[in-house]
DNA sequence: CATGAATGAGCATTCATTCAT
DNA sequence: GATGAATGAATGCTCATTCAT
């Protein structure tokens, strides 16, 4: 299995059990929903969850408040949609740029680089999702899924003899945390070169996981 | 300078410019303020900032809503107090357990271990502060201060020839992120052995920063 | 310049700098705003500023509290609107009934009579504005504007040789005070004949200002 | 009856039916009550009724909030006391300076001059009473008493053939209004010479009431 | 006498949500 | 599909008042 496949497998979009995954939407409905989600993302990234009201989102989208309720059954429904769409978008992005690494170390590196580049390209989405997960208390579920994915990759590296022995869960948690810090850092220091950031992060985890001695 | 001193220096409690540091409080007032701060921490850790209202804090403390306003000039005042007290408590704790490492690597290790142990001991405070800093938009400032501290330590290690060459800011950001993930992980997996977590985290960063080759 | 013109000039509606003068309101919005303003006036006139809460105004208007906030950005915004509308209404009324006096004495008389008749017709508005200006601390500004207007008229009379010499400001202050006492008196003694009141007040100031000797 | 007697009669302090007229107060109690009343007057005159809280009065007096409630059964009780004391003080002042006019016109003049001088001397009290009467809706009662007094004086002048014929109540209302405007004007234009103001006001009403033709 | 801790009602305001049009 | 008028609950906060000390 080549790296691209590994990343693809890792980032596969999981079906949501909530009711907003139904299809059979008209073109206009899909467009409106997208517009609202976009406005929500921008608002969340800009002012934070606490100050993000439906009124504010509607104002940003240039539509009436009522229309949001027409398209989303509740504020929570909209927030779920934001999380789903951003995750799907990010996964598509990362997968597309995943290198053709043929070992696990390369896959980790590709993953990190893809994510950092995504954050540099479209920082609002990740910031928005961070706000939502934190505020709504959904961090736990989302985290578990990501952690499980990372663990699988790390365990694969250990089994292939590439990585040293370590508790995969803790390393996965740490890797996830390091990635989650990226958009905030890029916002705090916009002059940061994403390439350097990605390379440094990749190096850090390469050193942390690779098999020592030999 | 020994490790304990380095940690002490790192964790020095910064003077607050706000007015709630005044002394001259009666015993009963101090006790009530402490009780309210405690109730606020528990509430924040449990339900998150968005659902933490003064009413809820009062209910948890078993007092009237008005009493909070009697002791704190505003909700923000209370939140500031929570941050101040938790930080002071954490720094006291970490400093007290700081090892006697006589090199920079040892200091980093002591810092990580102290922090993980603190999170294991009193997880609510750190979670509460995280909620506040995120919601109130104070995260940026708090981050910068911590990052500056960490950078100083890392740069010291580089200058002493202990650490490899890397951009200290990015490593500091990553280290901070890894630490901030600790209370969430301990909450998600309460069975985690803090000692193992601390050791693993220390090892991870030891490998990441130490001078390679030789 | 005839008396009607003098009064018209005197009572010209001053443009408000606040933003609530915008047009482009729907019919229903205009109606609701009017209803709320009306309820506010009645409440203020009846129970005074201190006991006039948005809850009370809403109750009198038979609507929810939230609806007031929907139509007015703040309590102060509503109060400004009350002042603006009552003043405009009063000025329209007084101007419409302004006599065709062709001297300054006649103009003063027309002004007094118009105002007394307005107070007899719609006493609540003037009482409400009095409450607001006093409580909000706007009394000073409003007073100065009225005094300046009155002074101008009185000075005109002096220059025309109709009025005796007196400090115009003090006479203006006294005249204003006498007028402001009208709604209170009409409320205290509803049986008072407004015509008699107006005539008596006009006579009082006629005697006070007119040129003696000859 | 000479003018001084007329004024004395006019300004006689009426017994209050409320319960705060009881005697048998200790020295310290009397002093405290006076101190609180004084602080209330200053606060009312400075910030207006709406912003005058017991907390604020206590702060100004340099005592605890509770002490006000200890000495006055309610906020309303304190406000009543302010009105009573200011009125008594004012009446004492006016009476003391009442001239020895031997006709009614002179008495009116003495009254006006005394009041203007009092407002110039101690403006806070009258402003405070104005705030209270307006806000509490007590204006009515207080007004009626003053009006009755003035009417009696004016009727006396008419019966003595000094004054022209006019409805005494309306002239009394107007005179009262003119006097009530004095403290506000002195505050708005502190450079005003009280002597000039008094003389002008006296002249105005002299012209308004005196018997014309002869 | 005096304090200040404590309460509970009331305040203006915000906001997610509903619904007639 | 879309609007915006309307609601009602919740929020942070102020304040007169009570009461144990």
Query: Which site among D75, D148, D204 would you substitute to test the C interface, given the most C Cβ atoms closer than 10 Å to its Cβ?
Result: D204
Token pair belonging to C116:
């007394």
Contact criterion met (CB below 8 Å) for A131 and A48: yes
Distance between CA atoms of residues C151 and D136, nearest Å? 33
Better pLDDT: A96 or C130: C130
pLDDT at C100 over 80: no
Does any CB of chain B come closer than 8 Å to the CB of residue A50? yes
Question: Do B and D count as touching (3 or more CB pairs closer than 8 A)?
Answer: no
Please give the backbone phi and psi of residue C210, each rounded to the nearest 5 degrees, phi first.
-70, 155
Nearest nt by C1' to C64 Cα: F7
User: How many angstroms separate the most distant Cα atoms in chain A?
Assistant: 64
| Nearest residue, CA→C1' of E17 | A69
**Radius of gyration in angstroms for the set of CA atoms belonging to chain A, rounded to a whole number:** 19
**Could you tell me the pTM of the whole model?**
0.89
Could you read off the pLDDT of C135-168 as tens digits, one per residue?
A: 988 888 889 999 999 999 999 999 999 999 999 9
DSSP characters over C125-181 = HHHHHHHHHHHHT-HHHHHHHHHHHHHHHHHHHHHTT-B----HHHHHHHHHHHHHH
Residue that has been written with the tokens 């098999």 in this structure: A211
SS3 B77: helix
The pLDDT confidence band at residue D137, using thresholds 50, 70 and 90, is confident
Give residue B137's pLDDT. 86
Cβ contacts of B169 within 8 Å, gap of 6 or more: A189, B147, B151
Using the 8-state DSSP alphabet, how is residue C5 labeled?
A: H
Residue of C47, C171, C196 with shortest CB distance to D167: C196
Give residue D95's pLDDT. 84
pLDDT at A16 over 70: no
The dotted CATH code for A3-14+75-209 is 1.10.357.10
Distance between CA atoms of residues B138 and A108, nearest Å? 32
Cβ contacts of B131 within 8 Å, gap of 6 or more: A134, B44, B45, B48, B49, B52
Which chain C residues are Cβ-neighbours of D128 within 8 angstroms? none
Helices (H), chain B: 3-10, 27-47, 54-61, 65-71, 75-97, 104-121, 123-136, 139-159, 168-188, 194-209
Residue that has been written with the tokens 């990759």 in this structure: A153
CA distance A76 to chain B (A): 13
Contact criterion met (CB below 8 Å) for D61 and D36: yes
- Boundaries of every domain in chain B: 3-14+75-209
CA proximity to A183, closest of A109, A129, A107, A106: A129
Cβ contacts of C121 within 8 Å, gap of 6 or more: C93
CA of D194 to C1' of F15 (A): 39
Which CATH architecture best describes the domain D3-14+76-209?
Orthogonal Bundle (1.10)
Give residue A17's pLDDT. 47
Query: Which site among A201, A204, A212, A214 would you substitute to test the B interface, given the most B Cβ atoms closer than 10 Å to its Cβ?
Result: A204
Return the percentage of chain D with pLDDT > 70, whole number.
87
The mean pLDDT value for D172-201 works out to 96
Do residue C204 and residue D137 have CB atoms under 8 angstroms apart? Answer: no
Contact criterion met (CB below 8 Å) for A108 and A206: yes
Return the percentage of chain A with pLDDT > 90, whole number.
74
Nearest nt by C1' to B77 Cα: F12
Please give the backbone phi and psi of residue B163, each rounded to the nearest 5 degrees, phi first.
-105, 155
SS3 D15: coil
Give residue C6's pLDDT. 65
Contact criterion met (CB below 8 Å) for D197 and D186: yes
Give residue D18's pLDDT. 47
Give residue C17's pLDDT. 45
Do residue D166 and residue C135 have CB atoms under 8 angstroms apart? Answer: no
CA proximity to D208, closest of D179, D174, D160: D174
Distance between CA atoms of residues B127 and B43, nearest Å? 10
Residue stretches of chain B with pLDDT short of 70:
1-23, 99, 213-214
The pLDDT confidence band at residue C212, using thresholds 50, 70 and 90, is confident
Does any CB of chain B come closer than 8 Å to the CB of residue A136? yes
Contacts of the segment D15-18: beta carbons below 8 A, 24+ positions apart: D16/D80, D16/D84, D18/D77, D18/D80
Distance between CA atoms of residues B135 and B48, nearest Å? 10
Give residue D82's pLDDT. 95
CA of A67 to C1' of F7 (A): 17
Burial of C187 (0-12, 13-18, 19+ CB in 10 A): middle
The dotted CATH code for C3-12+75-209 is 1.10.357.10
Among the residue ranges A12-26, A90-104, A188-202, the one predicted with the least confidence is A12-26
Contact criterion met (CB below 8 Å) for B149 and B176: no
Does any CB of chain A come closer than 8 Å to the CB of residue B181? yes
The mean pLDDT value for C38-53 works out to 96
pLDDT at A2 over 50: yes
Distance between CA atoms of residues D78 and D73, nearest Å? 8
The mean pLDDT value for C126-130 works out to 95
Distance between CA atoms of residues C104 and C100, nearest Å? 11
Give residue B101's pLDDT. 79
Query: Is C54 within 7 A of strand E by CB distance?
Result: yes
Q: Which of residues 147-176 of A touch strand E (CB under 7 A)?
A: none
Give residue B212's pLDDT. 78
The pLDDT confidence band at residue C214, using thresholds 50, 70 and 90, is very low
Which chain D residues are Cβ-neighbours of C180 within 8 angstroms? 177, 181
Do residue A48 and residue B178 have CB atoms under 8 angstroms apart? Answer: no
CA distance B159 to chain A (A): 19
Does any CB of chain B come closer than 8 Å to the CB of residue A63? no
Contact criterion met (CB below 8 Å) for A136 and A114: no
The pLDDT confidence band at residue C7, using thresholds 50, 70 and 90, is low
The mean pLDDT value for C72-76 works out to 96
Could you read off the pLDDT of D47-96 as tens digits, one per residue?
A: 999 999 999 999 999 999 999 999 999 999 999 999 999 999 998 998 88
Contact criterion met (CB below 8 Å) for B186 and B115: no
Return the percentage of chain A with pLDDT > 70, whole number.
87
* Helix H or strand E encompassing A154: helix A139-159
Query: Which site among B47, B204, B206 would you substitute to test the A interface, given the most A Cβ atoms closer than 10 Å to its Cβ?
Result: B204
User: Looking at the DSSP assignment, which residues form a beta bridge with residue B163?
Assistant: B210
Could you read off the pLDDT of A189-210 as tens digits, one per residue?
A: 999 999 999 999 999 999 999 9
pLDDT at C19 over 60: no
Contact criterion met (CB below 8 Å) for C204 and D208: yes
SS3 A121: helix
Please give the backbone phi and psi of residue A210, each rounded to the nearest 5 degrees, phi first.
-70, 155
């Amino acid at each position: 299995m080549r790296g691209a496949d590994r990343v693809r497998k890792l980032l596969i979009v999981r079906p949501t059990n909530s009711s907003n995954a139904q299809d059979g939407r008209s073109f206009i409905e899909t467009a409106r929903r997208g517009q609202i989600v976009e406005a929500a993302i921008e608002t969340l990234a800009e002012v934070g969850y606490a100050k993000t009201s439906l009124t504010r989102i509607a104002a940003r989208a240039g539509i009436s408040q009522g229309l949001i309720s027409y398209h989303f059954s509740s504020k929570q429904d909209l927030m779920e949609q934001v999380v789903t769409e951003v995750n799907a978008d990010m996964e598509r992005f990362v997968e597309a740029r995943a290198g053709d690494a043929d070992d696990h170390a390369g896959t980790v590196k590709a993953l990190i680089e893809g994510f950092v580049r995504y954050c540099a390209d479209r920082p609002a989405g990740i910031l928005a999702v961070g706000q939502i997960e934190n505020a709504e208390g959904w961090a736990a579920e989302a985290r578990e899924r990501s952690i499980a994915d990372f663990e699988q990759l790390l365990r694969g590296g250990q089994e292939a003899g590439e990585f040293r022995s370590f508790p995969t869960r803790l390393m996965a948690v740490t890797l996830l945390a390091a990635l989650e810090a990226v958009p905030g850092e890029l916002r705090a220091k916009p002059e940061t070169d994403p390439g350097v950031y990605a390379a440094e992060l990749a190096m850090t985890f390469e050193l942390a996981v690779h098999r020592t001695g030999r």
